[in-house]
Amino acid sequence: MVKIKHFIQQSWLLIVASFFFGLLIAVANAALSERIEQNRINKLNRLTRALLPEAENFIALDTEIEIESTRGKKEKVQVYKAVSEGKCVGWSFNAAGSGFADKIELVVAVDKDFQKLAGFDILASNETPGFGDQIKYDYFRDQFKGAPAEELKLVSIGSANPGEIDSEIVAITGATISSEAVVEIINNSITQIKNQMQKKGLIGNAK
């Protein structure tokens, strides 16, 4: 009994303050969480809309798609269906993997048959400014627009016809991990998602 009294005497301020501060954070969180979630959705929508300009609306797919990440861990992927006038015009999904400095999170868009990539954009990354973060630049990202949605190949020497869109992606430099990482993330997710969507009958078996 004496011990409890001593404990309360010593720490009553801490206990009261914890409750008070907890309440303060709860109030701030309740007031702001809706806006924060909305910001996240807005960003995703803004990026996907730029990739699939003809889409009017994005519908989250109820079907669960699970893929193995580059590290071999099972991960759930939320796939969005891009719709225009009731018809499917494409698909988009998020993909992540490790880059040079930190995790790279991408949003990837493909056409309605999962045949061609519509492009990708970066949700979050922390690559070296001026070097690795060139994965954000148009010259690198444009190589993916219209590329076949299958295993992409990374080459360090540009192809004979630079404007050509094929499964070859020219790296930022041969030693840049960031461009390698992007290709790896897309390769890893796209084939697995394609397979699962074909199995579940969401897209036709083209081949």
Partner 1 sequence: MPNNSEANAGFYKDTLLAGLWRENPVFRLLLGMCPTLAVTAAVKPALTMGLCVIFVLLCSNLIVSLMRNLLKPHLRILMFTLTISTFVTIADLFLKAFVPRMSETLGPYVPLIIVNCIIICRAEACASKNPLIVSIIDALGMGAGFTLTLCVLAGVRELLSTGKIFEAQVMPDWFVPWAAMSMPVGAFITLGLLLGLVNATTGKKA
Locate tokens 């989250």: which residue? Answer: 60
What is the smallest separation between the CB atom of 98 and partner 1, expressed in angstroms?
16
Locate tokens 């206990």: which residue? Answer: 15
Amino acid identity of 151? E
Decide if residue 173 touches partner 1 (CB under 8 A). Answer: no
What is the smallest separation between the CB atom of 132 and partner 1, expressed in angstroms?
11
| 92 burial type by CB count under 10 A (0-12 exposed, 13-18 middle, 19+ buried) | buried
Q: Which bin fits 65, alpha (ψ -120 to 50), beta or left (φ > 0)? A: beta
Candidate list 1, 3, 10, 201; residue touching partner 1; CB under 8 A: 10
**Paired strand residues for 122:** 106
Nearest to partner 1 of 11, 63 (CB atom): 11
- Contact set for partner 1, span 128-167 (CB under 8 A): 128-131
C-alpha–C-alpha distance, residues 7 and 1, integer Å: 10
Candidate list 6, 7, 8, 24; residue touching partner 1; CB under 8 A: 24
What is the smallest separation between the CB atom of 69 and partner 1, expressed in angstroms?
22
Q: What is the four-CA torsion angle of 123, 125, 129, 132, rounded to 10 degrees?
A: -100
What is the smallest separation between the CB atom of 107 and partner 1, expressed in angstroms?
14
Candidate list 7, 19, 21, 139; residue touching partner 1; CB under 8 A: 21
Decide if residue 18 touches partner 1 (CB under 8 A). Answer: yes
Q: What is the token pair recorded at 68?
A: 């193995």
Measuring CA to CA, which residue among 156, 153, 109, 106 is closest to residue 127?
A: 106
Candidate list 39, 57, 63, 195; residue touching partner 1; CB under 8 A: 39
Q: Where are the alpha helices (DSSP H) in the chain?
A: 2-51, 138-141, 177-199
Decide if residue 124 touches partner 1 (CB under 8 A). Answer: yes
C-alpha–C-alpha distance, residues 98 and 182, integer Å: 9
Decide if residue 4 touches partner 1 (CB under 8 A). Answer: no
Binding segment toward partner 1, per CB under 8 A, in 7-15, 89-97, 152-160, 163-171: 7-15
Give me the residues that bind partner 1 (CB under 8 A), please.
10-11, 13-14, 17-18, 21, 24-25, 28-29, 32-33, 35-36, 39-40, 43, 124, 126, 128-131
